[in-house]
């Protein structure tokens, strides 16, 4: 449990359904897909929530639009600022364009080119920083103070969390449409916004469903924080191909929620992730970026046993450079 008081109250289930109404005209109700080959392979029923097919290629549009659309006219005119490795960047850029707000995004200089390019193509100004030197939070805060722009938090804010939670609303509804309800939900975890939103929905709608986070090895800060009951950080020198999941530690608000609602956290290796990216391409016919494939990797690697279980697996994003992707396809996993 945390000693600190989170700066905001957690979003309620009603906040998430309100986000769902805001998003309905603009977000994709991404399909919940099933593969006979995958089901046979694991001996269970895997329901794949393909947020890869979401506007901007990841779930991040949901939280960004739910946040930006609640700003008033003056705030919109002053614009928005965000820091992001790339998926939140594109989500904020697209959301800001839809409400007519100028957007400035602080991105690591080593972000995938596709994420930098797409963010600019959506009309945002991009400011790059050195991921191993500068503080992106400080740069973004400075930009916000200078221009009066509003910072759009990537995860640690109830509006962001409520937007991401709409993924959970759809999983519940789409599973019901095919006559089932998942025993477990596996989702990737960076700062914890997607997890905390989904967990809030299931706590309200299907409280017996177990929620698990999946992180890259070396970035399993949430798993270790959950296990120890307090926020811990990752080693500063850790590396992973999952560029979307390199947050240094859980958010305060997201961890306050996840420590109550998440069963536990899993970690997968980069080679597990490469195999999952290949499986998604070859068998599921879906493009998934490394960070978007960690939950699938947990299923395929056996890190989570799925025998006789119905398991919702979030495929969270698909923005990956063609060089890295074709390298993975050609060379597969080293181990």
From the list 286, 296, 299, 306, which residue makes contact with a copy of itself (rule: CB under 8 A)?
A: 286
Q: Which distant-in-sequence residues (6+ apart) come within 8 Å of 231 by Cβ?
A: 2, 221, 225, 249, 250, 252, 255
Counting Cα atoms < 13 Å in the Cβ hemisphere of 24 gives 7
Compare residues 115 and 136 and give the one whose CB is closer to a copy of itself. 115
Options 226, 261, 267, 284; binder of a copy of itself; rule CB under 8 A: 284
Q: Interaction with a copy of itself in 20-79: which residues (CB under 8 A)?
A: 28, 31, 33-34, 36, 52-53, 55, 57
Residues with Cβ within 8 Å of 84's Cβ and at least 6 positions away in sequence, in order, are 60, 92, 105, 106, 107, 154
Of the CA atoms within 13 Å of residue 11, those in its CB half-sphere come to: 33
Binding-residue pattern over the window 233 to 272 for a copy of itself, x denoting contact by CB under 8 A:
----------------------------------------
Nearest approach in angstroms of CB 45 to a copy of itself is 14
Interface map 108-147 toward a copy of itself (x if CB under 8 A)? ------x---------------------------------
As a whole number of angstroms, the distance between CA 46 and CA 40 comes to 10
Residue number with CB closer to a copy of itself (148 or 322): 322
- For the window 74-113, what string marks contact with a copy of itself as x by the rule CB under 8 A? ----------------------------------------
Binder of a copy of itself out of 76, 183, 281, 310 (CB under 8 A) = 281
Q: Give 132-196 as a DSSP string.
A: TTS-HHHHHHHHHHHHTPEE--SSSSHHHHHHHHHHHHHHHHHHHHTT---SEEEEE-SSSHHHH
User: Of residues 1, 132, 133, 285, which one binds a copy of itself by CB under 8 A?
Assistant: 285
Size of the site for a copy of itself (CB under 8 A): 25
3-state SS, residue 142 = helix
Strand partners for 215: 267
Backbone angles phi, psi at 282, to 5 degrees: -80, -40
3 state SS of 239: coil
Return the DSSP state at 133: T
Instruction: Write down the least CB distance from residue 248 to a copy of itself, Å.
Output: 28
**Nearer Cβ to a copy of itself (179/228):** 179
Residue 4 as a binder of a copy of itself (CB under 8 A): the answer is no
**Residue number with CB closer to a copy of itself (61 or 255):** 61
Torsional class of 251: left (φ above 0), alpha (ψ -120 to 50), beta (otherwise): beta
Least distance in Å: CB of 174 to a copy of itself?
Answer: 11
* H/E segment holding residue 258: helix 252-261
Q: What whole-number distance in Å separates Cα of residue 243 and Cα of residue 240?
A: 7
The CB-of-93 to a copy of itself minimum distance in angstroms stands at 13
To a copy of itself, the closest distance from the beta carbon of 175 in angstroms equals 15
- C-alpha 330/C-alpha 277 separation (Å) is 12
Query: Which span (67-75, 165-173, 205-213, 283-291) binds a copy of itself, by CB under 8 A?
Result: 283-291
Whether 267 and 294 have beta carbons less than 8 Å apart is answered as no
The binding site for a copy of itself (CB under 8 A) comprises: 28, 31, 33-34, 36, 52-53, 55, 57, 114, 278, 281-282, 284-287, 318, 322-323, 325-327, 329-330
């Amino acid at each position: 449990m945390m000693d600190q008081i989170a700066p905001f109250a957690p979003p309620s289930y009603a906040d998430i359904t309100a986000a769902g109404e805001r998003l309905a005209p603009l977000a994709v109700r991404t399909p919940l897909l099933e593969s006979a080959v995958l089901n046979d392979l694991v001996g269970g029923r895997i329901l794949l929530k393909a947020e890869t097919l979401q506007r901007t290629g990841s779930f991040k549009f949901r939280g960004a639009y739910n946040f930006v659309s609640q700003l008033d006219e003056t705030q919109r005119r002053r614009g928005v600022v965000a820091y992001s490795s790339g998926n939140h960047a594109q989500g904020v850029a697209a959301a800001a364009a839809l409400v007519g707000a100028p957007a400035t995004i602080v991105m690591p200089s080593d972000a995938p080119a596709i994420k930098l390019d797409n963010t600019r193509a959506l009309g945002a100004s991009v400011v790059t920083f050195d991921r191993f030197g500068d503080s992106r939070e400080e740069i973004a805060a400075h930009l916000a103070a200078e221009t009066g722009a509003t910072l759009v938090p990537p995860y640690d804010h109830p509006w962001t969390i409520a937007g991401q939670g709409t993924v959970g609303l759809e999983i519940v509804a789409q599973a019901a449409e095919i006559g089932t309800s998942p025993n477990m939900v596996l989702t990737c975890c960076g700062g914890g916004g997607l997890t905390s939103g989904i967990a809030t929905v299931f706590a309200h709608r299907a409280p017996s469903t177990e929620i698990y986070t999946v992180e890259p090895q070396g970035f399993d800060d949430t798993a270790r924080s959950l296990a120890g009951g307090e926020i811990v950080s990752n080693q500063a020198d850790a590396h992973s191909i999952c560029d979307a999941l390199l947050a240094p530690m859980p958010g305060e608000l997201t961890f306050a929620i996840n420590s109550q609602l998440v069963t536990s956290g899993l970690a997968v290796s980069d080679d597990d992730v490469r195999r999952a990216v290949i499986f998604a391409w070859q068998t599921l016919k879906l493009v998934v970026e490394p960070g978007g494939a960690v939950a699938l990797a947990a299923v395929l690697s056996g890190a989570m046993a799925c025998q006789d279980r119905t398991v919702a697996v979030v495929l969270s994003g698909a923005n990956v450079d063609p060089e890295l992707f074709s390298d993975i396809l050609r060379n597969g996993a080293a181990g």
